[in-house]
Structure 1
Amino acid sequence: MKPGKELIFLPLGGSGEIGMNVNLYGCNGKWVMVDLGMTFADPSYPGVDLVLPDLAFIEERRADLLGVVLTHGHEDHIGAIPYMAAELGVPLYATPFTAGLIAKKLKEEGIEREVELNIIPMGGSLQLGPFGFRYVAMAHSILEGNALIIDTPYGRVFHTGDWKLDDGPLLGVPASGEMLTDIGDSGVLAMVGDSTNVFNMEASGSESDVRAGLLQLVKTRKKGRVLVTTFASNAARIATLGHVAKETGRHLVLAGRSMDRITEVAKATGYLKDLPPVMSWDQASGMAPEKLLILCTGAQGEPAAALSRIAEGNHPALRLEPGDLVVYSSKQIPGNELAIGRVQNALATRGIEVVTERQAHVHVSGHPGRPELEAMYEWIRPEIAIPVHGERRHMEEHARFARECGVKKTMVPINGSAIRLAPNGPVLLGHEKAGRLLLDGDVILPADGATIVERRRLMMNGLMAVAVVLDRDGKLAAAPVVNAQGVPVEADKEAFLAECSDAAAAAVKGGGKPARPPRGGRNGRGGRGDGDAPSGDKMVDDVRVAVRRVAREWTGKKPVTEVQIVRLG
């Protein structure tokens, strides 16, 4: 597909899911990309932490790609950059704080000289071929959240990015209703917008209210440490906790590398100027508990994060004791319930009190509820609404709500949907290749490839390895050796392996599986009798089948079974 005299919207990630945002706009033969994010793996990808977008569609057309414009610095919008930007070979554009985060990522990967990173001031603009971009500051749960005005010969798009409304922002100055109304007055063809909180009937709330809630909570604690866990990217929350520390006479301690990174970049770009001095771990270890306010990562139960290690008592310097308080100043992301519960149970076991947003006003979302969406549609008044950044249920509801707000045309995309916005849009032109790639160690793999399929089989059924040694005449030189991993036999393992060895020997001799008496709960099967010994690949197959039959009768499982034939001489 090559865009003609038209405006095309084509998401490669973030439509039908929350995370991994990648959006393409096409016009007059050229493409631009908005955001290049990743998402975190779930248990269906064993051994994998990060999921990346499959960019095959645009990689095949990279000569027509003009650049990547980033809305803000959350991982689901910039996280894939270190793994994919060099391959795309086009410039990146971001505001100062976001650019600072990206620069660190590029340096960590050693590709800072391979990727061109351009810094655009807040409220600034740029021109990429037929596309004109202007940044519009929006409130969000990270510094420098931005919407984008995208001007083309065929109409203007308002790409909201992640946003909310906040009457009392603590860092940054988001666009006012008057400014957004002016944008709407200029005429907007399409609004491509955040659907995350469309089912929330109330507005998300202000960071100023969270500051008051946290201050009140910490003030009531006269004894013990207070630990607050939140998303490291929320620099406004870091500023809030710095204020709370000063007001309550506590010393601020930061735990977690990402917390340090965000703080460093925020200070370098002119934010967090009033943050009090941060106490080191060594200093904190000798400080009276009631003098400490610890801010740490791990709100989503990540095993390697600071809070998980503290909860398990494995942190190198920070300890919690009965009477201490842990505050979850964060939202529980769907899918993380078990991991979060594991950490909270570990804390409870040690006599540590836990407070979440359900017990106190200690968090507000960074995404718009219905009242905020309604206000945005009143201001922008687009001809077309294209919901993104949500699961299918969120996006369908967003489309219905947009129509209630007076938008005449809506279309709900999936990843790969090529939608012509103008002229005469929206029209679904077709579906292009979109999918997932997995970062497995240092290797990028297809999500539906052989490696992950094999790993799932190993995870579900276990592994059996059989070694058969033959002499020069092709006869068994010793009893076959069988090893099993992850096969559910436990105390009976020795007897199980002996029976597998006998079955393998019978298969080599051509006699099949030897007869044995029935066992409790299993049906014994007699052998086939003596026969001609198999050879080559047939012997491997016969041994595999024989051993798997034993495993199935013992366990009901069909383990992955590998057979190695060794011939002496």
Structure 2
Amino acid sequence: MEIEIATIGGYEEVGRQMTAVRAGNDVVIFDMGLNLSQVLIHDNVETERMHSLDLIDMGAIPDDRIMSDLEGDVQAIVPTHGHLDHIGAISKLAHRYDAPVVATPFTIELVKQQIESEQKFGVENDLVKMDPGESMTIGDHGCELEFVNVTHSIIDAINPVLHTPEGAIVYGLDKRMDHTPVIGDPIDMKRFREIGREGEGVLCYIEDCTNANKKGRTPSENVAREHLRDVLYSIEDYDGGIVATTFSSHIARVKSLVEFADDIGRQPVLLGRSMEKYSGTAERLDFIDFPSDLGMFGHRKSVDRTFKRIMNEGKENFLPVVTGHQGEPRAMLTRMARGETPYELDDGDKVVFSARVIPEPTNEGQRYQAEKLLGMQGARIYDDIHVSGHLNQEGHYAMLDALQPQHIVPAHQDLKGLSGYVKLCEGEGYHMGRDVHVSRNGNLIQLVD
């Protein structure tokens, strides 16, 4: 059976992930993502109203024209998890393919919300839920799609595996090796080891290289949880304002913030559209049980009313958890920093960043500006209370040992970011150009003729 891989998006940057695998006449697409930084550099862009061709020209979504060179029919579109760099282009591109979107329940719900907010295209693809550990038949030629549970900085993440007569194709974006997660099950390393040793083994491993140049092992989310606990307990006696910010999609981190706010005698409240969206969805699907009196407010008027209430009743009684950890211009924390909300920052007030800057120039510049503005109002910054959702080098080594793939395709980085992974692979006996395939967006890799 011919096996071919199209590296469509995410092979020259972090963002707009999209990969297609052709096994015979059957094609599976993994991820359709958005590069948000390419949107944020433009003022007042509303992607919901934009045509896909304009977004492709901006470099915001994958250029999927290479799909016309794949001789087969798309059988499934499979996003690995609910981050925008993996699902953000589904509402713009999925309607071109007569295939269902297959994902875990939380991811499907986020995809559904993306489609409902779309104002340019009618997306009528079926949305099919599949849990980690389950499988489904793909096409009529002996291929099967399996979901393997992984841990990441969002709940309900998986690595999909396409089993073909020539061996398994393991799509490894995105994960960290967390054996003690705050929410959900640990990464299923037992199943990865089985896949590496059963049947024809692993024909190809497509891997997320975000942290491939970092030594050591990515810590568990429990490490970030204890760091966050230590920081909040250390400022328990402060009688002014404390504000926290983190990734809205990081439900485990939000859970910790809510719990520790209560521990230090403050009422938590979640503020911002995406904060309300992700936490509300997770609670509705029973992934988490928040306190019944936890306020979640996304609409600007509701948020400002909440800020007025906080100022009236005393900042010392509340812990607002807000959007804006990357300094996004319209996010809640940035508006607070510019003095555009009823919440007034005073000298000594604490701002806790339970997130790192995504290493990309737009984000770094916006975050720098936000921190400067906060500092000008007298805020004290508590930074980098976080662990990554991606594997460091020892995690990559463990995955190669588990899967023992015949071929490797590094992804999710630029060429500099891929270098550490290529070096690691070559140390394990692989060679670039022979069985390590460093690709660019819009390329085809022929694995089996």
TM-score category of the 2 structures, normalised to the smaller one: 0.7 to 0.9
Question: Could you tell me which of 110, 118, 124 is aligned with 2:128?
Answer: 118
The answer to whether the Cα contact below 8 Å between 2:179 and 2:186 also exists between their aligned partners in 1 is no
What residue in structure 1 maps to residue 301 of structure 2?
none
Gaps of 5+ in 1: 424-569
**Separation of aligned partners in 2, 1:288 and 1:194:** 45
Question: Could you tell me which of 340, 348, 365 is aligned with 2:367?
Answer: 340
Distance 1:366 1:219, change over 3 A: same
Q: What does 1:170-181 align with in structure 2 at a 5 Å threshold? A: 170-181=182-193
**Separation of aligned partners in 2, 1:54 and 1:94:** 22
What residue in structure 1 maps to residue 251 of structure 2?
235
What residue in structure 2 maps to residue 277 of structure 1?
293
Which has the higher mean CA deviation after the structures are superposed, 302-311 or 166-175?
A: 166-175
The CA deviation string for residues 280-319 of structure 1, in whole angstroms up to 9 with x for no partner, is: 615434332222111111111110011110111112x433
Once the two structures are TM-superposed, the CA of residue 88 in structure 1 deviates from its matched residue by: 2.9
What residue in structure 1 maps to residue 336 of structure 2?
310
1:81 correspondence with 2:81? no
Could you say what secondary structure the match of 1:286 adopts?
A: helix
Could you say what secondary structure the match of 2:367 adopts?
A: helix
Once the two structures are TM-superposed, the CA of residue 407 in structure 1 deviates from its matched residue by: 4.2
**Separation of aligned partners in 2, 1:241 and 1:273:** 14
Could you say what secondary structure the match of 1:365 adopts?
A: coil
The answer to whether the Cα contact below 8 Å between 1:396 and 1:412 also exists between their aligned partners in 2 is no
1:194 correspondence with 2:208? yes
Once the two structures are TM-superposed, the CA of residue 63 in structure 1 deviates from its matched residue by: 7.3
What residue in structure 2 maps to residue 21 of structure 1?
17
**Separation of aligned partners in 1, 2:169 and 2:69:** 25
What amino acid sits opposite 1:400 in the alignment? K
Once the two structures are TM-superposed, the CA of residue 383 in structure 1 deviates from its matched residue by: 1.5
1:368 correspondence with 2:384? no
Question: Could you tell me which of 175, 179, 199 is aligned with 1:163?
Answer: 175
The answer to whether the Cα contact below 8 Å between 1:16 and 1:395 also exists between their aligned partners in 2 is no
**Separation of aligned partners in 1, 2:192 and 2:26:** 28
**Separation of aligned partners in 1, 2:65 and 2:29:** 13
Aligned-residue identity in percent: 29
What residue in structure 2 maps to residue 145 of structure 1?
157
Question: CA RMSD for the aligned pairs?
Answer: 2.2
**Separation of aligned partners in 2, 1:386 and 1:63:** 21
Once the two structures are TM-superposed, the CA of residue 124 in structure 1 deviates from its matched residue by: 1.7
What amino acid sits opposite 2:147 in the alignment? Y
Once the two structures are TM-superposed, the CA of residue 213 in structure 1 deviates from its matched residue by: 1.1
What residue in structure 1 maps to residue 220 of structure 2?
206
What amino acid sits opposite 2:353 in the alignment? Y
Q: What does 1:65-104 align with in structure 2 at a 5 Å threshold? A: 65-104=74-113
Which has the higher mean CA deviation after the structures are superposed, 278-287 or 178-187?
A: 278-287
What amino acid sits opposite 2:425 in the alignment? A
What amino acid sits opposite 1:213 in the alignment? H
What residue in structure 2 maps to residue 330 of structure 1?
355
Could you say what secondary structure the match of 1:412 adopts?
A: coil
What amino acid sits opposite 1:350 in the alignment? Q
The answer to whether the Cα contact below 8 Å between 2:151 and 2:157 also exists between their aligned partners in 1 is yes
What residue in structure 1 maps to residue 416 of structure 2?
393
Once the two structures are TM-superposed, the CA of residue 184 in structure 1 deviates from its matched residue by: 1.7
Distance 1:324 1:45, change over 3 A: closer
What residue in structure 2 maps to residue 481 of structure 1?
none
Q: TM-score, normalised by structure 2?
A: 0.87
**Separation of aligned partners in 1, 2:187 and 2:41:** 40
Question: Could you tell me which of 376, 381, 392 is aligned with 1:354?
Answer: 381
**Separation of aligned partners in 1, 2:23 and 2:250:** 35
What amino acid sits opposite 2:391 in the alignment? P
Distance 1:240 1:65, change over 3 A: same
**Separation of aligned partners in 1, 2:243 and 2:97:** 42
Once the two structures are TM-superposed, the CA of residue 386 in structure 1 deviates from its matched residue by: 1.1
The CA deviation string for residues 338-364 of structure 1, in whole angstroms up to 9 with x for no partner, is: 21111111111111111112xxxx100
**Number of aligned residues:** 414
**Separation of aligned partners in 2, 1:290 and 1:312:** 21
Q: What does 1:545-564 align with in structure 2 at a 5 Å threshold? A: none
The CA deviation string for residues 501-520 of structure 1, in whole angstroms up to 9 with x for no partner, is: xxxxxxxxxxxxxxxxxxxx
1:248 correspondence with 2:261? no
The answer to whether the Cα contact below 8 Å between 1:252 and 1:276 also exists between their aligned partners in 2 is no
**Separation of aligned partners in 2, 1:206 and 1:275:** 25
What residue in structure 2 maps to residue 39 of structure 1?
35
Could you say what secondary structure the match of 1:217 adopts?
A: helix
The answer to whether the Cα contact below 8 Å between 1:301 and 1:342 also exists between their aligned partners in 2 is yes
Could you say what secondary structure the match of 1:52 adopts?
A: coil
1:215 correspondence with 2:229? yes
Which has the higher mean CA deviation after the structures are superposed, 122-131 or 107-116?
A: 107-116
The answer to whether the Cα contact below 8 Å between 1:211 and 1:244 also exists between their aligned partners in 2 is no
Could you say what secondary structure the match of 1:53 adopts?
A: coil
Distance 1:95 1:296, change over 3 A: same
What residue in structure 1 maps to residue 51 of structure 2?
none
Distance 1:421 1:275, change over 3 A: farther
Distance 1:323 1:109, change over 3 A: same
The CA deviation string for residues 38-91 of structure 1, in whole angstroms up to 9 with x for no partner, is: 102449975585611122232687972222011101000000112222233421
What residue in structure 2 maps to residue 105 of structure 1?
114
**Separation of aligned partners in 1, 2:294 and 2:253:** 15
Once the two structures are TM-superposed, the CA of residue 421 in structure 1 deviates from its matched residue by: 1.8
What residue in structure 2 maps to residue 319 of structure 1?
344
What amino acid sits opposite 1:184 in the alignment? G
* Larger-Rg structure: 1
**Separation of aligned partners in 1, 2:245 and 2:138:** 41
Which has the higher mean CA deviation after the structures are superposed, 54-63 or 155-164?
A: 54-63
Q: What does 1:253-268 align with in structure 2 at a 5 Å threshold? A: 253-268=269-284
Question: Could you tell me which of 418, 421, 446 is aligned with 2:447?
Answer: 421
Determine which structure has greater relative contact order: mean sequence separation of CA pairs < 8 Å that are 6+ residues apart, divided by chain length.
2
Once the two structures are TM-superposed, the CA of residue 326 in structure 1 deviates from its matched residue by: 0.6
Distance 1:182 1:29, change over 3 A: closer
Once the two structures are TM-superposed, the CA of residue 113 in structure 1 deviates from its matched residue by: 6.8
**Separation of aligned partners in 1, 2:92 and 2:113:** 13
The CA deviation string for residues 106-150 of structure 1, in whole angstroms up to 9 with x for no partner, is: 112267772311111222222221431111111100111111111
What amino acid sits opposite 2:206 in the alignment? V
**Separation of aligned partners in 2, 1:200 and 1:275:** 38
The answer to whether the Cα contact below 8 Å between 1:159 and 1:192 also exists between their aligned partners in 2 is yes
Could you say what secondary structure the match of 2:313 adopts?
A: coil
**Separation of aligned partners in 1, 2:287 and 2:413:** 30
